[in-house]
Amino acid sequence: MLEVKDACFEVNGKRLLQPVSHAFSEGKVYGLIGHNGSGKSTLIKLLAQQQPASRGQILLDGKPLESWGQREFARRVAYLPQHLPSAENLIGRELIGFGRYPWHGLLGRQSSTDKAAIERAIELSHTEAFADRLVDTLSGGERQRVWLAMLLAQESRFLLLDEPLAALDIAHQMEVLSLIRKLCDELRLCVIIVLHDINMASRYCDELLALHSGRVLAHGSPERIMTGSTLEAIYGLPMQVMPHPSGSHRIAVAH
């Protein structure tokens, strides 16, 4: 379990994230939603040990994050930032292989176990067709799947994804989210994902945390969050909520 206990974050005396308390369990997809600057990325960076909480505590399996060594932590928690580093001159398989660094170190040679984990990640992410192409030549959806495969090769139980759908068209958004949903269900992962599209969040997430001005304004199932009054409080504009034509989830339209 990844647990937040009254954690907040301040910079130069300004509080960007008010005290948050929440527990994240395996086998679920959690969506962080809210307007720009609401604190979504700040929260996921705290969970990923990218920045320390100013106050409060974050626990992984009952131990404070600061007590975990870097490689030990990375064997349990994998993080995909909003702004991805350059993968220039790397083929997909090489990038995916970087996910094994917590197990053998950056300079260690890949063992048969590492190679098997890389091949399994390629299979799980359905990247076989382009794993041996240069990452820079891939489409947006293919590139995101390769990065996701790198996280799978890391064999972590918790995946933290900060806006992984940015700059993707709707077809690639659905492709990536469908894969994330499938992997969560099959591998019993805990996925925490920052999303801007409330309808995508409603469709693919088990629970939503809605942030507003650095506070968790509401949390619960999509059915609980997807009401006109709650969405108006989150986004500041009137929303009409209705069932999706398939009946599988609710959708919202601004009016």
The pLDDT tens digits for 209-219 are 999 999 999 99
Residue 207's pLDDT is 97
Q: Is pLDDT above 80 for 107?
A: no
Q: Is residue 38 part of a domain?
A: yes
Does 56 fall in a domain?
yes
Separation CA 217–CA 233 (nearest Å): 8
Q: Which domain holds residue 248?
A: 1-69+197-255
The reply to whether 125 falls in a domain is no
Residue 248 lies in a domain: yes
- The set of residues, in sequence order, having a beta carbon less than 8 Å from that of 233 and lying 6+ positions away, is 212, 217, 218
Query: CA-CA distances (angstroms) from residue 223 to 21, 173, 208, 220, 226?
Result: 21, 21, 10, 8, 5
At 140, the pLDDT band (50, 70, 90 cuts) reads confident
156-177 pLDDT tens trace: 999 999 998 877 888 888 988 9
Average pLDDT over residues 220-239: 94
Q: Is there a domain that residue 109 lies in?
A: no
**Would residue 129 count as lying in a domain?**
no
Q: Give the count of domains, the chain.
A: 1
Residue 217 lies in a domain: yes
CATH code at 236? 3.40.50.300
Task: Report pLDDT for 105.
Answer: 62
Domain for residue 127, yes or no?
no
